[in-house]
Amino acid sequence: MIHQFQTKNAAPVIMLDDLTHRIFNAIGRPFENQGIFLPEQIPGYIERLQAAINAEQNSASSSSVSDDDQSADLSPLGRRAYPFLELLRRAQESQEPVVWGT
């Protein structure tokens, strides 16, 4: 299933089910097919998602001996979640909610 997340002043972000559920697990919120992140909730979600990305990145870098990939600075979650994280940041800047499933 495909989910579209949107806020004012930013392009919508479309994600597949697997990534959506992975992000919602990382931010500690159960996923619902329709919902809203209120402006006052967004800073906490950004912090939790960034912490999950950092934890995965630290885990991956401690287990790999060498990596010539130039995109190694972002974990797989970080690469895949980056557009969503940017959407949250844009919503935070403009104090707008993020909605989906509407």
* pLDDT tens per residue across span 86-99: 999 999 999 999 99
Q: If pLDDT is split at 50, 70 and 90, which confidence band does 74 have?
A: low
Q: Judge contact between 15 and 2, C-beta under 8 A.
A: yes
- Which tens digits make up the pLDDT trace of 24-61? 999 999 999 999 999 999 999 999 999 999 998 888 77
**pTM of this structure:** 0.84
> pLDDT band at 78, cuts 50/70/90?
confident
Specify whether the CB–CB gap between 96 and 39 falls below 8 A.
Answer: yes
CA-nearest of 39, 12, 25 to 77 is 25
Residue carrying structure tokens 């992140």: 37
Average pLDDT over residues 54-83: 72
Q: What is the pLDDT of residue 70?
A: 46
What lies within 8 Å, CB to CB, of 70 at 6+ separation is none
Q: At what angle do helices 76-94 and 17-27 cross, to 10 degrees?
A: 70
